[in-house]
Amino acid sequence: MSTLEIKDLHVSIETEQGTKEILKGVSLTIRTGETHAIMGPNGSGKSTLASTIAGHPRYTVTSGSITLDGEDVLEMSVDARARAGVFLAMQYPVEVPGVTMTNFLRTAKTAIDGEAPKLRTWTKDVKDAMGKLRIDADFAERNVNEGFSGGEKKRVEILQLELFKPKFAVLDETDSGLDVDALKIVSEGVNRAHAEGNMGTLLITHYTRILRYIKPDYVHVFVDGQVVEEGGPELADRLEEEGYDRYAKGAGAAIIAAEAAAQA
C-alpha cells in the first residue's frame, strides 16, 4: 500500500511575459488501488500537474510538496521518480531517433527494476502485452514512436504502463485523439494494470467519455489551477450534462462555499 500525496502545490512557468503561476495550491492524496479523475477545461493546469509530478524541467514548484510514502518526490531527478514508481503516460509522446522500441523497453525496464529482466519471460511479456493492445509486432523493431500515429503512440504509452508496473500512473489526456475502438483498447490496458491491485491512477481528462471505460473512485474538478469541486463518480455524470460553464473563472471558490453552506 502506497500513498502519493500532493500538498498545497504552487507551480509556475517562465513565459515571454514573465513568470506565470499555473497551479495555485493543489492538494490531492492517491492511494494504491484508487482511481482519481482530474477533469477541467483547457488551460486549467491539469497537464501542468501531470508534468510536475514527473519532474519536467519547464515547471518550477514555488511552494508545496509531493511525497511518495513520505519520500520527497520534488527532490528526486526525473529518472529517480520513475524508478521510485511514478509513471507519466504523456499527452504528446516524443519520437526518439535511433532507439528501437525493443531496446528502449528493455533499457527502461532494467533501469526501473534495478536488474535486467529475464530474457525469455520478458520477450514473451512484451509480445503478449503488445498483442492485447493490438500493436503490430513490427513496432518492436521501429524507433521509439517514430512515424507512429497519434493513437499508436497512446497505445505504446499504455504498453509501457503494463510492462513497467508503476506504483502510480498519471495519464495525461491519454484519451485525446483516440477513436472509440482505440479508446476501448487503451482503457482495457489501464484496467488490466489496475486489476493487479498494486497501482493508484491519476486520470487527467477533458472529456467524460473515457470514464465510461475506466471507473474513477474520485472526481476532482480543476479550474484555474485549483481544485474547485470534488466528489464521487456521479460528479462526472453531472459534468457530462452541464459542462464546465458553471465553473466560470473565479467562481470555483464561491461554488465550494455555497455547497458547503448547503450541506451545513
Interface residues with other proteins (CB under 8 A) are 54-57, 77-79, 81-83, 88, 90, 93-100, 103-104, 107-108, 111-112, 143-147, 160, 164
For Cα atoms 123, 124, 128, give the angle at the middle one, nearest 5 degrees.
120
Terminal-to-terminal C-alpha distance of the chain: 34
Neighbouring CB atoms inside 10 A of 240's CB total 14
**Which residue, 3 or 102, has its beta carbon nearer to other proteins?**
102
Looking at beta carbons only, is 113 or 237 nearer to other proteins? 113
Of 43, 30, 33, 34, nearest to 4 by C-alpha is 30
Residue among 46 and 106 whose Cβ is closer to other proteins: 106
Tell me the torsion sign for CA atoms 99, 100, 103, 104: positive
The least distance separating other proteins from the CB of residue 144, rounded to whole angstroms, comes to 8
- Complex with other proteins: residue 105 or 236, whichever CB lies closer: 105
User: If we measure between CA atoms, which residue out of 4, 82, 33, 49 comes closest to residue 191?
Assistant: 33
Rounded to a whole number of angstroms, the minimum distance from the CB of residue 82 to other proteins is: 4
- Min dist CB 161 to other proteins, Å, is 11
Instruction: Provide the minimum distance between the beta carbon of 112 and other proteins in the complex, in angstroms, as a whole number.
Output: 4
Distance CA(187)–CA(76), nearest Å, equals 30
Q: Are 229 and 247 in contact (CB under 8 A)?
A: yes
Nearest CB to other proteins, comparing residues 61 and 111? 111
Least distance from C-beta 102 to other proteins, angstroms?
11
